[in-house]
Chains A and B, each alone.
Chain A
């Protein structure tokens, strides 16, 4: 792992893509994982934060919460035809409350590479990294 938190990266998975967020808290790692998700489709820096969408999820454990969070974003992207470039999340007692900021997808400007079908339980992990205590939130997404 190369980047210094908060940051995100992709990891290799045969046909699909692994998304990984790193942060000082689980919530920050979730925000970064969401950026990694957007980056599967387009450069997150090219997405303007023009509209806010509220997202809430609940799960009995952090790993399931990560899958639910990414799938909620996949759903909002698909049904609103939007891309998101900025995220603010709060996690308390298995509940995630977040805002995703973005704009309607512009095929020319965003040049989307591929659609994300859903988040999977493959290579799923939400844990602290030993060397610096940073939180990692990751899984493979199907494209």
Chain B
């Protein structure tokens, strides 16, 4: 099962292909620069080749420039399956943190407005937004409200007073994923979520106050409402304990379902079920409920951020630019070599990137394409990109999602101390607030790949185009 790297064939400056062989039904395609490919773990290529062996896969198993070794599917992996052709759905192809994603809000403030009140804002945000392991929100949902939230997503949150109706237009699926089935979500998953609504979580999740440092495409930036020098807020988090437990429950069920349906797996970690099977359908219903949980969660955190800003900058309005998810499986229509097909597109650590004219985009973006929000690691920059028409052909309209780790957590915590990381960033004018210094060390900027190199490769490959670069000013770290 080794040696996939040696089978990589270069097809363009940022495009590499592993031609199908053995049990591979389709090729594996890697979008990355030569430097990024060189630094990728061999396991990325092995996992991509394994995904290419799954039943019903269409065109190719794709990996994005930020790909790294995941469980089953690589992180930064995209794979589409056709239910008509015996296609499968995989909980490992979505990930534990269902619908983890990023949303960015405009503030209308400039760096000069922010600078004198930076400390006060950091403290207020840290006090308002629960961050870190074991932190709990103030919202408690009874069984009926839990199900309403799982069906309603951000729409539910807005109806309950967290946010404004106009926010919904600026969220994928208009804030509510259709087809959610709360009855397919276990009681354990719901119990795990009981006091976690409106919390950031830990790991690489954050809330950042950022400055728009550079604009690459003024026309698209204007359509997105982004101006050079403006302060924005980005929130990166997901579906919390509920999503994690859905992943756990269905990975286990799929290990048995794959066997029961006679699906030959190169590795058990690829556990999956036919889309047209009971487990497959129940997972899709539960996963969509998980998407709604993540959308509701980011909506509630948005409201908390608005309250914190209002306390420091009275009268300031935070307007949503967009909200994207990068761990999902969505049913979408795509033009393929065999005509238009309804496919189940898994994006695990990959962002949807619809190009201009896509009917699912809100009016404001229809002419230019969808905002693709790429979160950096703490202390490094983030990017706003825009979807392209050609990305549909390249990778079912998908792009990268972040920097991707370059170093394991234990290596990072041996190399850095949290306090030094915080002091180093403070010396560069970046304020970090976090409950865990070990967590900060494990998330040190140097533990990640160069997000700029990842974004450049995505841009050059045509997956999405650069619009703006954001630099951090305040980081609330989970």
**Contacts from A to B (Cβ < 8 Å):** 10, 12-17, 41, 64, 67-68, 71, 74-75, 78-79, 81, 105, 107, 111-115, 117-122, 124, 140, 142-143
Contacts and interface: CB of A to CB of B under 8 A. Distances in A.
A42 to B, nearest CB: 8
A107 B188 CA distance: 24
Interface centre among A15, A112, A115, A124 (most CB of B within 10 A): A15
A14 B188 CA distance: 29
Contact of A115 (B41, B75, B203): B203
Interface string B283-322: 0000000000000000000000000000000000000000
Contacts of A13: 69, 408
A121 B269 contact: yes
Interface of B: 41, 43, 68-72, 75, 92, 95-97, 132-136, 188, 191-192, 194, 201-203, 241, 244-245, 247-248, 251-252, 255, 267-269, 271, 404-405, 408-411, 413, 435-439, 442
A113 B413 contact: yes
A71 to B, nearest CB: 5
B96 to A, nearest CB: 4
A120 B405 CA distance: 19
A113 B438 contact: yes
A122 B74 CA distance: 11
Contact of A142 (B71, B136, B436): B71
Given A12-B408, A79-B191, A79-B192, 19 more contacts: A14-B70, A14-B75, A15-B68, A17-B410, A41-B133, A75-B188, A75-B192, A75-B245, A107-B135, A111-B438, A112-B435, A113-B409, A113-B439, A118-B244, A119-B248, A120-B71, A120-B72, A122-B72, A140-B71
Contacts of B255: 64, 121
A114 B409 contact: yes
B241 A113 contact: no
Interface centre among A14, A119, A121 (most CB of B within 10 A): A14
A15 B69 contact: yes
A120 B97 CA distance: 13
Contacts of B405: 14-15
A75 B70 CA distance: 22
A122 B43 CA distance: 11
Nearest to B191: A79
Contacts of A119: 248
Contacts of B95: 142
10 contacts: A14-B70, A74-B244, A78-B192, A79-B194, A107-B436, A111-B436, A112-B439, A114-B409, A119-B248, A143-B409
